[in-house]
Amino acid sequence: MSDTNLTAILHKKGDIRLEDCPIPEPGPGQVQLCMQHVGICGSDVHYWQHGYIGDFVVRAPMVLGHEASGIVSKLGEGVTNLNIGDRVAIEPGVPCRRCMDCKKGRYNLCADMKFCATPPYDGNLARYYVHDADFCYKLPDHVSTEEGALLEPLSVGVHACRRAGVTLGSKVLVCGAGPIGLVNLLVAKATGASQVCVTDIDEKRLVMAKEMGADCVVKVTSKDPKEVAAQVIEALGEKPDFTIECSGAPPSTRTAIFATKSGGCVVLVGMGPPSVELPIIDAAVREVDIRGVFRYVNCYPTALNMVASGAVNVKPLITHRFKLEDSIQAFETTLRGEGIKVMIECKK
Ligand code: NAD
Ligand code: ZN
């Protein structure tokens, strides 16, 4: 335990500083967490490099980090689901709970979502942080706090596979083998997909995909989406039922549509440019559904059970480890695109 609260703050584009901040006190329904592990996400790096993502602009200093786990160090008034000392995974987005989207159970679409490290809300790359207790999930003893932090990207995979409709025996194409493509691979396999093909332009990432269970991989060298689709179909022996696009690259999104079986579904996880030219008539006449994916909803419990049961092993995703004090080096490592997941240990 520490008596100071070292915190990684993005002051403005290109300017991360480690500063001592007051230790926050939990309000009603909240817990104070002694932070354990925080993974760095592409979005944290994007805010650091560019100062915005779409309409979300860093206008005031913001604490980074949202893939996180901690140990409950104080209970706010009325908290009954957790005890001091519980190790928890932190679901970083707390919705309003009152709007129609929340009431329909699609709280990821809530317009009043308070999501860690999405301006103007602070993240949790710090020694201490407070969060709503019902968005903290107690980890069983055999699940590490690193795995707890990885439930965040894993939940993106759970949601995307659910939105796509991946089921027993499915053939699945995952485009892009970054952390998000890889968690989708893991979830698709654990859901019973018979074959998963993964594409990327980077050989190293395809090697990782193979190691993590991809049945086949296609290295993308052509800008012609039909040509890449043909390579995927050849590798799988037929068209995939479902395609999970995790690169955001426009040519890859075109490939996703051409490759997918008639009557199948493409889910858009990757976020590239806001407007992209797509072979929309091919999708229309073959009834290939195109579905959006935004973060996750009601996925943390599933992601946790998958890890706890051994159905998925997320540990190999971690390729680099740093201490909170060395957060800037951790961000520089992520920016250089080395490895897959950079994990920061927050405890002193
Ligand atoms: P990443 O940049 O590490 O991975 C993207 C991968 O795509 C890289 O390995 C890259 O080499 C590969 N790629 C580039 N062009 C390609 C092409 N033409 N064909 C195939 N692969 C190609 O990023 P990540 O952290 O894995 O995230 C992936 C995407 O998912 C990002 O766009 C991110 O913004 C998005 N994302 C969306 C959600 C959501 O809620 N929808 C959540 C998290 C991340
Ligand atoms: Zn709401």
Note the helical H segments in 87-178.
100-103, 145-164
Q: Domain 155-292: which topology?
A: Rossmann fold (3.40.50)
Nearest-CA residue for ligand 1 atom 42 is: 295
Residue 144 confidence (pLDDT) = 98
Q: Does the Cβ of 165 fall within 6 Å of ligand 1?
A: no
Q: pLDDT digit string (tens) for 10-67?
A: 999 999 999 999 999 999 999 999 999 999 999 999 999 999 999 999 999 999 999 9
CA-based radius of gyration for the chain: 20
Tell me, what's the ipTM? 0.99
Calculate the average pLDDT of the chain. 97
Domains 5-138+314-345 and 155-292 share a fold: no
Q: What average pLDDT does this structure show over 85-114?
A: 98
Mutate to test the pocket of ligand 1, among 108, 180, 198, 253 (most ligand atoms within 8 A of CB): 180
The CATH code belonging to domain 5-138+314-345 is 3.90.180.10
State if residue 225 touches ligand 1 by the CB under 6 angstroms criterion: no
Both tokens of residue 330?
């951790």
Name the β-bridge partners of 176: none
- Provide the residue count of the chain: 348
Residue 243 has pLDDT above 90, yes or no: yes
Q: Return d(Cα 56, Cα 52) in angstroms, integer.
A: 5
3 state DSSP class of 50: helix
Residue 120 Cα to ligand 1 middle (Å) = 24
Residue 199 in contact with ligand 1 by CB distance below 6 A: yes
* Percent of the chain scoring above 70 in pLDDT: 100
With 90 as the cut, is the pLDDT of residue 5 above it? yes
Spans of all domains in the chain: 5-138+314-345, 155-292
> Which DSSP category does 84 fall into?
T
Please give the pLDDT value at position 147: 98
The helix (H) or strand (E) run that includes residue 329 is helix 327-335
pLDDT of residue 1: 65
Give the closest ligand to the alpha carbon of residue 157.
1
pTM for the model: 0.98
**CB distance 42 to ligand 1 below 6 Å:** yes
